[in-house]
Structure 1
């Protein structure tokens, strides 16, 4: 056997040992990087909880654990709770939650929640329950942890009001599908940021609608932008509206469509509030099935029987239009200092928002 033939197996052995050592080093390094990232996430999570508490939202877990090795960061939270200490004072709890993020993209988070949830208004004592087949939330934040985009998706969502005895529940609404999305839009000249939004509801129903003679199902979709609306701190509605009016915010409705077997409504336009809470702006409102709706409301006793023909006559004021694929009418609505004009005719005043 020649010297070269002897050295060849030795070189192969050294190569195999080198590759094994390299794999071990990579595995150890990756494990160390994961542990570092997990510790970083724990610290960032604690800092985020502190920031949220200062904003009036107190989050807690009965038990919290971090896992997901080797490629994910997964936070498991048993019995998560949320208490709002300003605005509407609520206590919200659900069974469990799981939030995951890829280790190379920790600011993109997907959260899944286990049904059911319980919502208590600590001021009024009212208690509500929510059940769902699936409920997920996706969010993307900046490096400081501030949310930039968020999306909520629910399937088979049912909402009910729970009586004091905690044994009876009154159904309030149900949705086959519910999708909500929002994102921050940078404002000009360093002013308050805007929020773009969209929502889709499919297969909605409610006992309240049945009282109005509408069994459903109801579908809803809308998109638009609310300017100067990026302050996410909990606060009373009146305070929020005052702050929004002071910032000269606008609600721009790009598309709004509501449809049921008997009625369809569309809208687009822009609305705002002045410092006195008066509504200003313009809306183009489309309506199909107004006469049938008036008959349903009359039969349900919601409006006097003699008013149904008057509501039908109101449709004569509008212009023929296609409303979500149905024959209907459109009405231009104009708001000026709280005064409402319908197709150029003065109708009355809208109560101030605050």
Structure 2
């Protein structure tokens, strides 16, 4: 009986190599793309540095390298530095910050998201001078959504930042916090056409030394602002940008501000702008709960006992002479022995009564509070009728 089974056909062997060959071709193409992208990093970085230099921000990198093959780009910049030139009003000045290392990471499949890690410490110095400040942190990271020339959103976060003042071999604590983060985004417009910037700043466990004992106590802050008046993100120094904002009638809206220090809670909202001289104008409405508990920390009684410096009076009571105040206490003692001392020792109660006299009753987070206007007039800051500070012009 003849064999009716058809002869088995041999399949061509070349079909078995199609998929491996395609994978090899894809790998070669991907590798070529990655190395091309890596080679472009230096070109794009140099172009960005040139753009920033026009704004008075000069960036430099001691050693730059690119890694991360095959799916991301890791750009490492060791001994990084930035010099800020003409970023404040007045005579041109230069300020240089140096950082141990910056690592910028971008995924190949998501190139519009850049993540940067900062390695501590950083030093700050005037041009030609040794470092005057040192900054440390445990974690420092930032992220940018969008291209550096066309950003849409940015964030920067630091854990346990600390700033020390350097005086030769001695380092003195100046400020620190448990956590600091700053977020910004374009709320309206675009980077090329009148962007409106919304920011949120959060500080946990912050302290500031060498200013006032009150600020040396830990505080938390949460501030949300909205900035309008920018023309675009074109490179320019900050004084020029502030002048542009003023000419356009721009302003900073304090949408929300909350500061807490122990039992003290303060919230504020309002709008601040710039006048033709570059000085801050505007008003914030503040509501404060627990202010009577921090008045003793102001040290008013001690200041009166030791004598009021003229510089202090110039800030809080312009036109009043220190000698006149001392003569007043002397006259009180002559009229009624010990009266001047009693007035000094009860100064805190007088301050509390004075604050209550120009504030209005309010309630904040279920607590009794006082509401006050915080006014900015030609750079002078008034807490009610009392001048508490004088701010320099911004251009």
Provide TM-score, normalisation by structure 2. Answer: 0.76
Instruction: Give the C-alpha shift of residue 64 in structure 1.
Output: 0.7
Residue 328 of structure 1 is matched in structure 2 by 369
- For residues 43 and 4 of structure 1, the distance between their equivalents in structure 2, rounded to whole angstroms, comes to 64
CA contact (8 A) 1:89 1:123 kept: no
- For residues 209 and 146 of structure 2, the distance between their equivalents in structure 1, rounded to whole angstroms, comes to 38
CA contact (8 A) 2:381 2:390 kept: no
Instruction: Give the C-alpha shift of residue 39 in structure 1.
Output: 2.4
- For residues 178 and 356 of structure 2, the distance between their equivalents in structure 1, rounded to whole angstroms, comes to 32
CA deviations over 1:150-188 (Å, ceiling 9, x no partner): 21100011101111x2x1111001111000012234449
| SS class of match (2:8) | helix
1:151 aligns with 2:155: yes
CA contact (8 A) 2:188 2:195 kept: yes
Instruction: Give the C-alpha shift of residue 295 in structure 1.
Output: 1.4
CA deviations over 1:113-155 (Å, ceiling 9, x no partner): 111001112288661100100101111334x724332211000
- For residues 181 and 53 of structure 1, the distance between their equivalents in structure 2, rounded to whole angstroms, comes to 24
Change (3 A) 1:352 1:18: closer
Residue 94 of structure 2 is matched in structure 1 by 89
- For residues 223 and 205 of structure 1, the distance between their equivalents in structure 2, rounded to whole angstroms, comes to 20
Instruction: Give the C-alpha shift of residue 293 in structure 1.
Output: 1.5
CA contact (8 A) 2:52 2:58 kept: yes
Residue 328 of structure 2 is matched in structure 1 by none
Instruction: Give the C-alpha shift of residue 307 in structure 1.
Output: 3.7
CA contact (8 A) 2:174 2:208 kept: yes
Alignment of 1:1-354 (within 5 A): 5-7=8-10, 10-11=11-12, 13-87=13-87, 88-122=93-127, 127-142=132-147, 145-163=149-167, 165=168, 167-187=169-189, 192-208=194-210, 211-213=212-214, 215-229=216-230, 235=237, 241-277=242-278, 279-298=280-299, 301=302, 305=344, 306-313=346-353, 314-324=355-365, 326-333=367-374, 353-354=392-393
- For residues 102 and 383 of structure 2, the distance between their equivalents in structure 1, rounded to whole angstroms, comes to 49
| SS class of match (2:220) | strand
Provide TM-score, normalisation by structure 1. Answer: 0.84
- For residues 224 and 46 of structure 1, the distance between their equivalents in structure 2, rounded to whole angstroms, comes to 33
| SS class of match (1:80) | strand
Q: 5+ residue gaps in structure 2?
A: 88-92, 309-343
Bigger Rg over Cα: 2
Residue 329 of structure 2 is matched in structure 1 by none
Instruction: Give the C-alpha shift of residue 253 in structure 1.
Output: 0.5
Number of aligned residue pairs: 343
Change (3 A) 1:162 1:335: closer
- For residues 124 and 181 of structure 2, the distance between their equivalents in structure 1, rounded to whole angstroms, comes to 20
Change (3 A) 1:278 1:205: closer
| SS class of match (2:178) | strand
| SS class of match (2:256) | strand
Instruction: Give the C-alpha shift of residue 21 in structure 1.
Output: 0.6
- For residues 325 and 233 of structure 1, the distance between their equivalents in structure 2, rounded to whole angstroms, comes to 47
Change (3 A) 1:171 1:334: closer
The range that moved more, 261-270 or 115-124, is: 115-124
- For residues 140 and 348 of structure 2, the distance between their equivalents in structure 1, rounded to whole angstroms, comes to 41
| SS class of match (2:104) | strand
Q: CA RMSD in A?
A: 3.2
Change (3 A) 1:91 1:300: farther
Change (3 A) 1:195 1:299: same
